């Protein structure tokens, strides 16, 4: 089992040692999409949801999710995030609307922030669902993906299907 980076010689899970890696500025942007009905979209635009603004709650959940990533993902290193920003945009879809949630995380560290960005959009999407489920339980949390990352030993990455 020792050929796997996250297992020790006894075949048990371990957090890899990153102490010899160089600090550098690293960023990661992730995206999640939610399909929602036109009725829900209109209710949000008209501020008719009893729970309040779902994007405000999702924004806070995304920031908290990024900060708590090591609590959710067992082998993630706790790192001091220097920036966490989320954005939200609606697009018309064939059968309603899509909410596009993006999170960009920045750090100067010896490890990347891909998991923090992915956790941020996931927490935001789940919170949006929770805030809106009284109006539309049929929402679909669709694809969640890493859009891009910069810095670190492996270099930059840009998802071939996103810009």
Give the annotated binding-site residues for substrate. Answer: 75-77, 115-116
Using DSSP, state whether 151 is helix, strand or coil: coil
Residue 48 annotated in active site? no
**Nearest by Cα to 66 from 84, 82, 49, 80:** 84
Out of 53, 130, 136, 156, pick the active-site residue. 130
Helix axes 114-132, 54-67, angle to 10 degrees: 150
Residues annotated within a binding site:
75-77, 115-116
Rg (CA), the chain: 18
Q: Give the number of other Cβ atoms within 10 Å of residue 1's Cβ.
A: 10
Residues taking part in catalysis: 130
């Amino acid at each position: 089992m020792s050929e796997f980076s996250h297992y020790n010689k006894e075949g048990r899970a371990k957090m890899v040692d990153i102490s010899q890696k160089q600090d550098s500025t690293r960023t990661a942007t992730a995206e999640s999409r939610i399909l929602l009905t036109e009725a829900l979209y209109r209710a949000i635009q008209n501020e008719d949801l009893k729970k309040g603004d779902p994007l405000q709650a999702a924004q806070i959940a995304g920031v908290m999710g990024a900060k708590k990533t090591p609590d959710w993902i067992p082998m993630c290193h706790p790192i001091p995030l220097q920036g966490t920003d989320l954005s939200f945009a609606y697009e018309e879809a064939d059968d309603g609307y899509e909410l596009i949630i993006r999170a960009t995380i920045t750090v100067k560290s010896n490890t990347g922030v891909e998991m923090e960005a992915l956790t941020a959009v996931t927490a935001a999407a789940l919170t949006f669902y929770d805030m809106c489920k009284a109006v539309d339980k049929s929402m679909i949390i669709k694809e969640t993906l890493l859009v891009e990352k910069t810095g670190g030993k492996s270099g930059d990455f840009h998802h071939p299907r996103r810009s």
